[in-house]
Amino acid sequence: MYARIAGTGSYLPKKILTNADLEKMVDTTDEWIKSRSGIEQRHIAVPGETTTDLAVPAARAAMAAAGVGPADIDLICVGTTTPDLIFPNVGTLLQQRLGIHGCAAFSLEAACSGFIYALSVAEKFVRLGESKCALVVGAETLSRMVDWTDRSTCVLFGDGAGAVILKPSVEPGIISTHLHADGKYKDLLYFPEGISTGFNLAGQGKAFLRMKGNEVYKVAVTTLGRVVLETLAANGIDKSQIDWLVPHQANIRIIEAIAKRLEMPMERVIVTLATHGNTSAASIPLALDAGIRDGRIKPGQQLLLAAFGGGLTWGSALVRL
Ligand code: UT7
């Protein structure tokens, strides 16, 4: 038994922030942002627009694509680092908004790897027969964590949500997932405050995402490179058998390095970075939905999903659509 992706959906907030807009906010240039990251614009949630607000239309689109309704969903698993509230979790907030009652609903936090972690957890429920129809979401409003006066981080991130519906199938499916983390890298990418350390350490509204971009870059290339080779070896398949690489969208140079390791031309990589920026846990399901809806990714094709993020966390999924 496998868990199969029966439908995908995504949603981006309406407000767009271009590199030209950022030139007016911080000491940066369109040329620097494009050449160093590949990003041209990003979508930003307006005040009051929450992670759950983005997750709802993404989930509805995935449910419509899969032909399922609220009564069919029996598990909700959301990857997010930017919950509306500390609790109730985003899974339950989403559940209520979708008119679903009673099924297990939770969110998990693995930064930009959140969707791969959520997919890996949910596919086990489906594969083991405990879920017949799981809703898996990656949704973020990282713009709320960013210091909009810090040019080294604010140009990189955007908001959005992506979702998939998983159903049991005798045909593959999610073929394998590979999750990793190493907390020794915690200082490379983190948000400095939380409940048990006490909010307001830096003063109300003064805490922001902190990143050693250069060092994250190096570890990302190494760990992603390793996990894609691990995925191929675990399944006894060759690089040439991957139809599409659907990577976390953080930096075009990182994506190109992984494509090179897989000897894949960039034409077989789904890249949404230029228009979405880095949407953290939402980036892979957003890219997956884009590739499916524009007809590039076709039923029966084999996809390699690969993510990394704060923690550091990283992981992959080999998927037959
Ligand atoms: O989702 C996972 C999380 N994060 C990532 O994956 C990020 C991984 N890292 C990266 O993508 C890249 O390291 C960045 C895009 C963040 C930075 O690119 P870089 O080529 O590593 O640049 P750098 O940090 O080495 O900075 C080069 C220069 C510096 O100036 P000096 O010291 O050489 O004079 C920076 O101060 O660029 C400067 N700089 C900027 N200049 C214009 C940094 N940010 C900007 C900016 N505009 N926005």
Q: Write the single-letter amino acid at 17.
A: L
Distance 155 CA to ligand 1 centre (A): 10
Residue whose CA is at the smallest distance from ligand 1 atom 43: 152
Q: Are 42 and 157 in contact (CB under 8 A)?
A: yes
Q: Are 285 and 291 in contact (CB under 8 A)?
A: no
pLDDT in tens, the chain (321 residues): 999 999 999 999 999 999 999 999 999 999 999 999 999 999 999 999 999 999 999 999 999 999 999 999 999 999 999 999 999 999 999 999 999 999 999 999 999 999 999 999 999 999 999 999 999 999 999 999 999 999 999 999 999 999 999 999 999 999 999 999 999 999 999 999 888 888 766 666 678 999 999 999 999 999 999 999 999 999 999 999 999 999 999 999 999 999 999 999 999 999 999 999 999 999 999 999 999 999 999 999 999 999 999 999 999 999 999
The reported pLDDT for the residue numbered 172 is 93
Helix (H/G/I), strand (E/B), else coil: 117: helix
Distance 54 CA to ligand 1 centre (A): 28
pTM for the whole structure: 0.97
- Whether 309 lines ligand 1, by a CB cut-off of 6 Å, is yes
Distance 134 CA to ligand 1 centre (A): 38
Q: What is the DSSP string of 67-78?
A: T--GGG--EEEE
> Is 251 considered catalytic here?
no
> Could you say which of 112, 133, 154, 276 is catalytic?
112
pLDDT tens per residue, range 146-158? 999 999 999 999 9
> Could you say which of 43, 178, 248, 276 is catalytic?
248
- Whether 39 lines ligand 1, by a CB cut-off of 6 Å, is no
Q: To test the ligand 1 pocket, which listed residue (34, 39, 217) has its Cβ within 8 A of the most ligand atoms?
A: 217
- Whether 226 lines ligand 1, by a CB cut-off of 6 Å, is no
Give Cβ neighbours of residue 112 (< 8 Å, ≥ 6 apart).
248, 250, 278, 280, 281, 283, 307, 308, 309, 310, 313
CA distances from 234 to 57, 58, 111, 170, 238 (A): 35, 32, 25, 20, 11
Is the preceding omega at residue 173 within 30 degrees of 0, hence cis? yes
- Structure tokens belonging to residue 85: 């509230």
Helix (H/G/I), strand (E/B), else coil: 221: helix
> Is 248 considered catalytic here?
yes
Q: To test the ligand 1 pocket, which listed residue (152, 189, 216) has its Cβ within 8 A of the most ligand atoms?
A: 152
Please name every residue paired with 177 in a beta bridge, in sequence order, or none if there are none: 317
Angle between helices 51-66 and 283-293 (to 10 degrees): 40
What is the C-alpha to C-alpha distance for residues 73 and 92, in angstroms, rounded to an integer?
13
Torsions phi, psi of 186, nearest 5?
-60, -30
Nearest partner of 15 among 59, 53, 64, judged by Cα: 53
Q: To test the ligand 1 pocket, which listed residue (24, 30, 42, 214) has its Cβ within 8 A of the most ligand atoms?
A: 214
CA distances from 30 to 22, 24, 194 (A): 8, 11, 34
- Whether 145 lines ligand 1, by a CB cut-off of 6 Å, is no
Please name every residue paired with 244 in a beta bridge, in sequence order, or none if there are none: 303
Helix (H/G/I), strand (E/B), else coil: 310: coil
Helix (H/G/I), strand (E/B), else coil: 83: coil
Distance 138 CA to ligand 1 centre (A): 26
Write down how long the chain is: 321
Give Cβ neighbours of residue 282 (< 8 Å, ≥ 6 apart).
10, 54, 58, 115, 138, 139, 140, 159, 160, 161, 162
